[in-house]
């Protein structure tokens, strides 16, 4: 008899991609560019690098289990109390903690599909049911998602922008959703790419929904535009009872010292934030043009630091052909889109590298 829960029987362990240097060695390439994981390509902010160096000598000590200084700074930034804020090893960890805190076998979550895979996996691990609602024109269909809510629905996930399609849900649609969602449901608005977006219709879910009294948890991260993906640091903002429920199951020291000090030091550099936002918009436009030139129209309007493109019934052959050219992108079968690729916006040089790789692949197949 297995010691493991039956809910795990249909799941497979996460299979990470190979390191870039290993891909380069195996394929005998001069250069490999990774545009697969929606990371920011510029690394930590200068102030974060300085903070990392200063804190390194204290790494013999356990981290601050409550992330006191970071939580207070985030609370001040968002105009809430520290009781409204929780940190985690990436926003992904908070999704996992919330799932453990909220879901029993037979409970349900609702999400658009394709969307961020952890919403589904973290529910299935606990024996809960994930109701996956098809997108409409690559956008979340909030009306259909509301129709999928039942008496056992605990969580509804709204990723805006949606990963992997890169499309956003606007203010009018979200306001209408919150007017209709049943009171027993906690809505998770995942705004991991919040800082990239400069659209008038894009809402700040903390200001517009949490502070209006809606049952909502808003997720943000330092993994993207802030360049701290390797340190794993994200946070959630919600009502104190929601934060307390999540805190009951999180590990005491799950956010390391380096992550805390780097995130705190990154908060006030608006100039660098705007520089990265502008460069990303330029790079996104270049990548979109590149894809269109080769008959691959990206989903849109895309507003984050990546593009989604349907390339046929099976995206693996194009993924592998690009890999042989040194360009690593993300095939999306695990996200529910087996015929699509996701391409992250890189530096200008990396974007041009991808354009050359795609041109080479297309030339060899036409």
| Tokens found for residue 222 | 């330092």
Question: For residue 13, what pLDDT is reported?
Answer: 85
- Reported pTM: 0.96
In the numeric block, the tokens 């695990």 are attached to 334
Could you list the mean pLDDT of each consecutive 10-residue stretch along the chain, which spans 366 residues?
88 82 91 96 96 95 96 98 98 98 98 97 98 98 98 98 98 97 98 97 98 98 98 98 97 95 96 97 97 96 98 96 96 93 97 97 84
- How far apart CA 74 and CA 236 sit, in angstroms, is 10
CATH fold of 17-43+270-365 reads 3.90.1150
- The DSSP bridge partners found for residue 340 are 310
* Residues carrying CATH 3.90.1150.10, the chain: 17-43+270-365
Question: For residue 12, what pLDDT is reported?
Answer: 85
Question: For residue 263, what pLDDT is reported?
Answer: 98
Question: For residue 365, what pLDDT is reported?
Answer: 79
Residues 6+ apart with CB under 8 A from 197: 161, 168, 303, 304
Provide the 10 A C-beta neighbour count for residue 125: 16
Residues 6+ apart with CB under 8 A from 360: 325
CATH numeric code, 46-266: 3.40.640.10
* Residues carrying CATH 3.40.640.10, the chain: 46-266
């Amino acid at each position: 008899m297995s010691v493991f829960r039956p809910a795990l029987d249909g799941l497979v362990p996460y299979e990470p991609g190979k390191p870039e240097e290993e891909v380069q060695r195996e394929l005998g390439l001069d250069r490999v560019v990774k545009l697969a994981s929606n990371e920011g390509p510029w690394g930590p902010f200068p102030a974060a690098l300085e903070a990392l160096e200063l804190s390194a000598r204290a790494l013999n000590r356990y981290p601050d289990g409550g992330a006191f200084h970071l939580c207070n700074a985030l609370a001040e930034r968002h105009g809430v109390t520290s009781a409204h804020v929780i940190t985690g090893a990436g926003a992904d960890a908070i999704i996992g903690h919330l799932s453990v805190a909220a879901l029993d076998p037979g409970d349900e979550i609702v999400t658009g599909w394709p969307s961020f895979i952890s919403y589904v996996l973290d529910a299935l691990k606990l024996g809960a049911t994930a109701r996956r609602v098809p997108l409409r024109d690559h956008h979340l269909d909030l009306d259909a998602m509301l129709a999928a809510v039942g008496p056992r629905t605990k969580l509804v996930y709204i990723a805006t922008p949606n990963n992997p399609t890169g499309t956003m849900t606007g203010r009018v649609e979200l306001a209408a959703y919150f007017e209709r969602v049943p009171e027993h449901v906690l809505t998770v608005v995942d705004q991991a790419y919040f800082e990239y977006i400069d659209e008038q219709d894009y809402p700040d879910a903390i200001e517009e929904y949490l502070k209006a009294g809606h049952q909502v948890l808003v997720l943000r991260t330092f993994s993207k535009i802030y360049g701290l993906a390797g340190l794993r640091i994200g946070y959630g903002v919600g009502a104190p009872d929601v934060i307390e429920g999540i805190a009951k199951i999180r590990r005491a020291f799950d956010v390391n010292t380096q992550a805390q000090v780097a995130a705190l030091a990154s908060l006030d550099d608006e100039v660098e934030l705007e520089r990265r936002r502008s460069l990303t918009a330029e790079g996104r436009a270049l990548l979109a043009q590149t894809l269109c030139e080769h008959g691959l129209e990206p989903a849109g309007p895309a507003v984050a630091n990546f593009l989604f493109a349907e390339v046929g019934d099976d995206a693996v052959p194009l993924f592998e052909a690009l890999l042989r050219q040194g360009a690593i992108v993300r095939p999306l079968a695990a996200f529910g889109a087996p015929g699509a690729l996701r391409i992250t916006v890189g530096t200008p040089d990396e974007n041009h590298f991808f354009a050359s790789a795609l041109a080479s692949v297309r030339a060899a197949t036409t």
